[in-house]
Structure 1
Amino acid sequence: MRNFYSILSLPRSASPAEVKARFRDLARERHPDRFQGEDKQRAEEEFQAIAEAFNTLSDPVRRRQHDLELDRPTQTQYDPQQVEKVYLSRGARAYKQGNFLEAADNFDRATQAAPGNAQAWHHLALAASREKRWWPKAQEAIERACQLAPDNLAYQKLAGKIFAQSGMTVRAKQYYNHALRLGGPDPAIRKALAALDPTAGGEPGTTEAAAARPARTNEAPGQEKSSLFRKLW
């Protein structure tokens, strides 16, 4: 991909004022009106690239996306498993800093590198759930995580929460009740179900049936404590 910093001959640390000043200098030097014939055609192409670089680097959101693209590892640099780890690490760091857009972008790339990684889908859902306009993406991601790891209690809980906040009560109840079947009685889930339907606290017999079974989860001992994110409940 094109490096807009290189086009403007600027370091990546350049300030907005430096970007603007550099664009003005290049616009004066390379404006097509200063050239004739083939030189003018070449100058027009260069000027278009300069303008695109300026428009990208002067917009904070587009610049951040461009930086992410420049940092994106290639298949020649890493194998898919390494790529996945890089993006998960970047996403976790961005999430902890409160940069949820950047976190979601990195987790999304992790799912592309490793479509079968339920954890990557879970983290994408968690980041996307923090912004209302991303809720459809969060729903898609958590459903995929639950499909890949249907017995993961944390995923079922997050699915219930995401669908509940989206107003999709039927789906939310399905996931919350499945979480009760997996993990047994849980006051937080009961409270969430009661908020969805004050007349019901989960499907009949869920508590008793779940209590008779040991809690099941796909997570290894201690795995939950080492999660990238704090517990949701």
Structure 2
Amino acid sequence: MNPFDVLEIPSDASPEDIKAAYHRLAKQWHPDRYTGAAKVEAEARFRDLAEAFSILKDPGKRLAVMQQLPKTPVAASTPPGKEKDAEAAPERTAEDWAALAKEAFDAGRVDQAQALIQYAIRMDGKKPQYHALLATILEQSGGDLRMVVKALEAAVRLAPRDVDSHLRLATHFRTLGMVARAQRHLETAREIAPNHPKLRQTAPRGGKGAAGAAGQKGKVQTTPAGQPGLVDQLKDLWGRLTGKG
């Protein structure tokens, strides 16, 4: 079943168009308006309409349907002289889907944004910014923290010098109780950008710095008096990342 055909709408119909089409056709095919054999047909059509609406109002299900649909031919109602333009209209790229995801996220449509960015990642999983955006969306929606971490790890694998993703991983690993991993990402971020505004310099003047000291293998490191420990650093970092610091 093609839900767009059932609701008699194009594949680029807006959520408002989908809702309006459903209500219009549901009213037209409501079984209470028919009797006999016509009522049986109306019941079947009514069920199809409900199923189509259920699919298309869910951003994730809608994207899955669109992915399976063949290219839409030029409609018969295309104005004369516009056929070539319609045929030449390019399909949306991963970048287009990612832009739509960012737009939906900025508008507060978090679920839709997640479905859109995941679709972009399926099309092109080699863009670190897509994974970073997915992590941001999951953070906003209160999703599984381990899924957030997975998205950020994908981002830093593709862009090892992505300081913000390293800092976010540090705070999330601290929340998960994985202190060693948190410290590793914090030190990596400091090595890449020691003057990053979200990093607090913890080494005393003239010292080697926390990253250099921590790099000495086989030695137990102690925190100098008056210098914050890793947990305090991460708490401070989380405040800076969230704007609460």
Which one has a bigger Cα radius of gyration?
A: 2
TM-score when scaled to structure 2? 0.58
Aligned to 2:2: 2
Change in 2 beyond 3 A, CA 1:74/1:141: farther
Equivalent residue, structure 2, for 1:35: 37
Q: Distance in 2 between matches of 1:17 and 1:113?
A: 31
**1:84 aligns to 2:94 (yes or no):** yes
Deviation at 1:143, TM superposition (A): 0.7
Look up the match of 1:101: 111
Equivalent positions of 1:1-233 (< 5 A) are 2-4=2-4, 6-9=5-8, 12=14, 13-14=16-17, 19-20=22-23, 22-28=25-31, 34-35=36-37, 46-56=45-55, 62-65=57-60, 83-166=93-176, 168-186=178-196, 188-190=198-200, 205=213
Which 5+ residue runs of structure 1 have no aligned equivalent? Answer: 194-200, 208-230
Change over 3 Å in CA distance of 1:30–1:145 after alignment to 2: farther
CA-to-partner distance for each residue in 1:78-120, whole Å, 9 max, x for gaps? 57xx611101211221222232222222221121111121121
User: 1:166 offset after TM fit, Å?
Assistant: 4.8
Post-superposition offset of 1:123: 1.5
Equivalent position amino acid for 1:141 in 2: A
Say if 1:74 and 1:166 are closer, same or farther in 2 by CA, change over 3 A. Answer: farther
CA contact 2:131–2:154 (8 Å) conserved in 1: yes
1:48 maps to amino acid: R
- After superposition, the Cα gap between the structure-2 partners of 1:168 and 1:20, relative to the gap in structure 1 and judged at 3 Å, is farther
Give, as a single letter, the amino acid of the residue that structure 1 aligns with 2:31. R
Alignment TM-score, normalising by the size of structure 1: 0.61
Question: Post-superposition shift, 1:151?
Answer: 2.2
SS in 2 for 1:53: helix
Give the C-alpha shift of residue 142 in structure 1: 0.5
- Identity across aligned pairs (percent)? 19
Contact 1:30–1:47 at 8 Å: present in 2 too?
no
Counterpart for residue 222 of structure 1 = none
Q: Which has the larger displacement, 63-72 or 87-96?
A: 63-72
CA distance in structure 1 between the partners assigned to 2:115 and 2:132 by the alignment = 13
Structure 1 counterpart of 2:183, one-letter code:
K
Structure 1 partner of 2:84: none
1:137-173 alpha-carbon deviations (Å, 9 max, x no partner): 2111111111112222222122223334555444322
Aligned length: 191
Preserved CA contact (<8 Å) 2:3 2:53: no
